[in-house]
Structure 1
Amino acid sequence: MASFLDPLIAFVSAHAWLGYLVLFLAALLEAVPVVGAVIPGSTIILALSALVPGGDLRLEWVLAAASAGALLGDGSAFWIGHRAQREILSTWPLANYPRLIAQSEAFFNRWGALAVFFGRFVPPIRAFVPVTAGALGMPPPRFYAVNIPAILLWAPAHVLPGVLAITALHQYAGIPHHTGVGKHYWMLSVIGGALIVTLATWAIRRRRGRSTIESAAKPVRKND
């Protein structure tokens, strides 16, 4: 991964205007079923966000590019599932990933609309939840009502850790903005990944605990 990200960061530093296209494509491809399970889109976004403090990329455009790519990717996957219905889940290439399809379907059946929200933060099923939601008949207005807020939270959650980490290294460790970025991208990935996984896990467990309490509180009806 280091051999891939270091040249990419150097390339974007030299051609900043293409950085936004890379960010857009990374977010887009990460949302495509099957492709998103192997494309390290989140890592690319997190690594390139480290170029913001040095002025190579602008924060608002980084957030906009990542959000637009995620929205187009999720929306396209949803509409493909919505048009093809459940049949698409058993056709190529999705048929080659029965375990991920089963996990996505179980995730959606358990959480409903919240699966679309939480699924955006949980790889690799992130790439399968939108198409599954469409295939299982989720209404488009309901999908976008959940998906858009999720993306608006997901983008800063992936971008800001890199920005803050490099800013801290510059201010407190004396590392210049334009050096050491490639060497520290693993640290940024760990920080961002930990924050995202922690948030998603906490929210899911909190929801699960609430459901358990509500189920236990329901009165048991005895047969006459």
Structure 2
Amino acid sequence: MTSFLNHLITFVADHAWLGYLTLFLAALLEAVPVVGSLVPGSTIILALSALVPGGELKLWPVLASAAAGALAGDGTAYLIGHRSQREILSAWPLSNYPRVVDQSVTFFHRWGMLAVFFARFVPPIRAFVPITAGALGMPPLQFYGVNVPAILLWAPAHVLPGVLAVTALHEYAGMPHHEHVGKHLWMFAVAGAALILALAVWTIRRRHGGGFIEPGRPAE
């Protein structure tokens, strides 16, 4: 994986358009049921975000590409579930992951609309909850009303850590501390909010026993 990412970063550094396309596809595929459990979308997004401080990629297009891919992936999965209803949950390939599907249904029933929000930050359920929400009849307005804000927070939470890390590595030594912090204060604020949300999701999962297994693990 490290070798793959190194080659990808090197190539993208010379072809910015491919970087934005890769970010879009990584976010999209990560939201596809089953496929999302196999594609290291978050890792790819974090790695490519490290190219922002050097100027190879631009921050806002990176955020937009990741958010658009996630919206397309979640939206497509939801619409498939909404049109097929419950039958899709027992159809191939979901039929190969009955335990994960059952846990996704339980998670949705427990948290309702908030399940769509929390799932965006918790792999591998983010690849299963949108289609489950559609299959269980969640109205489109409710789904997108929760999904869009979640994605708008999820994208910075995945992009900004890489940006901040590389920025700190290259700039702290040559820029006055107060100037650097002022320049990137909004990044720290969003990253901090994302960290707090992640801790909240982790606490909820532990308190309510809502942990999810990875696809492919046999049911006990």
Counterpart mapping for 1:93-132 below 5 A: 93-132=93-132
Counterpart mapping for 1:183-202 below 5 A: 199-202=197-200
**Superposition misfits of 4+ residues, deviation over 3 angstroms:** 194-198, 203-209
Counterpart mapping for 1:7-156 below 5 A: 7-156=7-156
Contact 2:71 2:151 in 1 (8 A): yes
Following superposition, the deviation at residue 205 of structure 1 comes to: 3.6
Look up the equivalent residue of 1:152 and give its one-letter code: L
**Residue ranges of structure 2 left out of the alignment (5+ in a row):** 175-190, 208-220
In structure 2, the CA distance between the partners of 1:128 and 1:206, relative to structure 1 (3 Å rule), is: closer
The percentage of counterpart residues that share the same residue type is 74
Counterpart mapping for 1:166-181 below 5 A: 166-172=166-172
- Residue 179 of structure 1 corresponds to which residue in structure 2? none
Contact 1:121 1:197 in 2 (8 A): no
| Secondary structure of 2:146 counterpart | helix
Following superposition, the deviation at residue 198 of structure 1 comes to: 5.9
Root-mean-square deviation (Å): 2.2
Cα displacement string for residues 107-130 of structure 1 (whole angstroms, at most 9, x for unaligned residues): 101000000000000000110000
In structure 2, the CA distance between the partners of 1:207 and 1:92, relative to structure 1 (3 Å rule), is: closer
| Secondary structure of 2:123 counterpart | coil
Please say if 1:165 is aligned against 2:172. Answer: no
Look up the equivalent residue of 2:32 and give its one-letter code: V
| Secondary structure of 1:101 counterpart | helix
Look up the equivalent residue of 2:135 and give its one-letter code: A
- Residue 187 of structure 1 corresponds to which residue in structure 2? none
In structure 2, the CA distance between the partners of 1:153 and 1:195, relative to structure 1 (3 Å rule), is: closer
| Secondary structure of 1:48 counterpart | helix
Following superposition, the deviation at residue 17 of structure 1 comes to: 1.6
Look up the equivalent residue of 2:89 and give its one-letter code: L
| Secondary structure of 2:46 counterpart | helix
CA distance in 2, matches of 1:38, 1:208: 24
Q: Normalising by the residue count of structure 2, what TM-score does the alignment of the two structures yield?
A: 0.81
**Residue ranges of structure 1 left out of the alignment (5+ in a row):** 175-191, 210-224
In structure 2, the CA distance between the partners of 1:7 and 1:173, relative to structure 1 (3 Å rule), is: farther
Q: Point out the more displaced range, 95-104 or 17-26.
A: 95-104
Look up the equivalent residue of 1:91 and give its one-letter code: A
CA distance in 2, matches of 1:2, 1:150: 29
The structure number with the bigger radius of gyration is 1
